[in-house]
Amino acid sequence: MKTVQFGEKRVAVSKVVCIGRNYVEHIEELGNEIPENMVVFNKPNSAISDTLYYFSEKCRFEGEICFLIRSGKIAGVGFGLDLTHADIQNRLKQKGLPWERAKAFDHSAVLSRFAVFGGTVESLHMKLYRNDRLVQYAGYDLMMYKPAAMLEEIQTFMTLEDNDVIMSGTPKGVATYNTGDRFVGQVFSGTKLLVEASWIVQEEGPFVASNQRSRKEERS
């Protein structure tokens, strides 16, 4: 099982639960419709990574505030990159098919360490820098669905195991990226820096060849 750092320990994460379309400006930048209900999808344990790989010219980064859950409540806060094969996702959406091939592939949930958190979620905000330029910034105030609503909705149909991670949605500013790019993700509580993580994009990630074959098969 893949693990993440939570406080002083490594803990196993059974799944990563992702909230989609949670920031209006991000919905608009991708030309999507504002959903009537919360969009929820999962990434498996095998998607978790502490390394950021390059996959293709169509693979997109999406920075997010992440929550680690214990006893059904937020116990930790971290930063995550939700990697997305944008070309595959667009084709799947057009066909009304699930998103796993575009969202749940190996190394698609790049996660920082998680800080133990007992503060107020209203104070949380995040920043993501790419090559020293601020590309994403947002926080609690801009979320359509607040953390309490996420927990309530998820738990109406899915059990949150201890140490599961919720990726709370991405603000505007997503884009594709290149080998050698440097990313720095930060989560703040007010002015206090809770978590900071940095990644330099590594050359071809696992399953690049198989992903390329999948895209060719879908186009045929």
Pair 181, 131: CB distance under 8 Å: yes
* Digit-coded pLDDT (tens) for 49-83: 999 999 999 999 999 999 999 999 999 999 999 99
Pair 40, 162: CB distance under 8 Å: no
Q: What is the reported pLDDT for 209?
A: 46
Q: What percent of the chain has pLDDT over 70?
A: 87
Phi and psi angles of residue 136, each rounded to the nearest 5 degrees, phi first: -140, 140
Pair 161, 13: CB distance under 8 Å: no
* Digit-coded pLDDT (tens) for 173-203: 999 999 999 999 999 999 999 999 999 999 9
Q: How far apart are alpha carbons 205 and 203 in whole angstroms?
A: 6
Say whether pTM exceeds 0.85.
yes
